[in-house]
Structure 1
Amino acid sequence: MEIQLNVLITETKTSIELSNNQGIITIIENSDKIVLDQPAIYILFKDDTITSIGKSEAGTFQNEVDYNTIITIAPSWDIELDYLAQQFILEAKDNGIQLTIPSQLETKIPTSYQKTVSTYKDEVLFILKRFGYLLKHNEEPKKANAKPAKARHKWTKEVSQIDFFVDTRESKATVLWHKRNEMLLKSGATMMANPPLNKDGSLGFSAKMGQRIREDHKDKVKNNVTTEDIILKSVNEVGLFLYFGGTNSWLELVDASGKTLNEWTAVE
Structure 2
Amino acid sequence: MEIKLSVRISETKTTIEFNDHQGVINILDAAKEITLDQPAVYILLKDHTIISIGKSEAGIFQNELDFNKIITVTPSWDIELDYLVQQFITEAVENDIKLANIPEIKTKIPASYKKTVTSYNNEVLFVLEKFGYHLKHHEEPKKTKAKPAKARHKWTKEVSQIEFFIDARGCKATALWHKRNEMLLKAGATMMPEPSLNKDGSLGFSAKMGQRIREDHKDKVKNFVTTEDIILKSVNEVGLFLYFGGTNSWLELIDANGKTLNEWTVVD
Shorter-chain TM-score range: 0.5 to 0.7
Q: Indicate the residue corresponding to 2:224 in structure 1.
A: 224
Q: Indicate the residue corresponding to 2:267 in structure 1.
A: 267
Deviates more, 1:258-267 or 1:80-89: 80-89
Would you say the 8 A contact 1:165–1:253 is kept in 2?
A: yes
> 1:78/1:85 Cα in 2 relative to 1: closer, same or farther (>3 Å)?
same
Q: Deviations over 1:120-157 (max 9, x none)?
A: 5564455334324568999xx99773211322233333
> Equivalents in 2 of 1:24, 1:228: separation in Å?
46
Q: Indicate the residue corresponding to 1:187 in structure 2.
A: 187
TM-score by length of 1: 0.68
| TM-align CA RMSD | 4.6
> 1:199/1:84 Cα in 2 relative to 1: closer, same or farther (>3 Å)?
closer
Question: How many positions carry a matched residue from both structures?
Answer: 249
> 1:214/1:9 Cα in 2 relative to 1: closer, same or farther (>3 Å)?
farther
> Equivalents in 2 of 1:44, 1:177: separation in Å?
37
Taking the TM superposition and a 5 Å limit, the aligned residue runs for 1:83-102 are: 98-100=94-96
> Equivalents in 1 of 2:183, 2:18: separation in Å?
39
Q: Indicate the residue corresponding to 1:3 in structure 2.
A: 4
How far has the Cα of 1:236 moved from its partner?
1.9
> Equivalents in 2 of 1:186, 1:5: separation in Å?
53
> 1:214/1:88 Cα in 2 relative to 1: closer, same or farther (>3 Å)?
closer
How far has the Cα of 1:27 moved from its partner?
4.9
How far has the Cα of 1:20 moved from its partner?
3.5
> Equivalents in 2 of 1:239, 1:265: separation in Å?
17
SS at match of 1:57: strand
* 2:202 partner letter: S
How far has the Cα of 1:178 moved from its partner?
2.3
How far has the Cα of 1:167 moved from its partner?
0.5
Would you say the 8 A contact 1:83–1:109 is kept in 2?
A: no
Percent identity, aligned pairs only, is 63
Q: Indicate the residue corresponding to 1:57 in structure 2.
A: 55
SS at match of 2:111: coil
Q: Indicate the residue corresponding to 2:76 in structure 1.
A: 76
Taking the TM superposition and a 5 Å limit, the aligned residue runs for 1:119-268 are: 120=120, 123-124=123-124, 126-133=126-133, 145-268=145-268
Deviates more, 1:239-248 or 1:229-238: 229-238
> Equivalents in 2 of 1:257, 1:61: separation in Å?
57
> Equivalents in 2 of 1:21, 1:263: separation in Å?
50
SS at match of 1:246: coil
How far has the Cα of 1:253 moved from its partner?
1.4
> Equivalents in 2 of 1:250, 1:193: separation in Å?
22
Larger of the two Rg values belongs to structure: 2
Q: Deviations over 1:30-88 (max 9, x none)?
A: 99x9998525386999979x999xx84335799xxxx9988654321124567768988
> 1:160/1:196 Cα in 2 relative to 1: closer, same or farther (>3 Å)?
same
> Equivalents in 2 of 1:228, 1:241: separation in Å?
14
* 1:100 partner letter: D
How far has the Cα of 1:175 moved from its partner?
1.2
* Structure 2 unaligned spans of 5+: 98-105
* Structure 1 unaligned spans of 5+: none
How far has the Cα of 1:168 moved from its partner?
0.5
> Equivalents in 2 of 1:180, 1:29: separation in Å?
43
Q: Deviations over 1:144-203 (max 9, x none)?
A: 732113222333333322222111001011112223332221100011122212234433
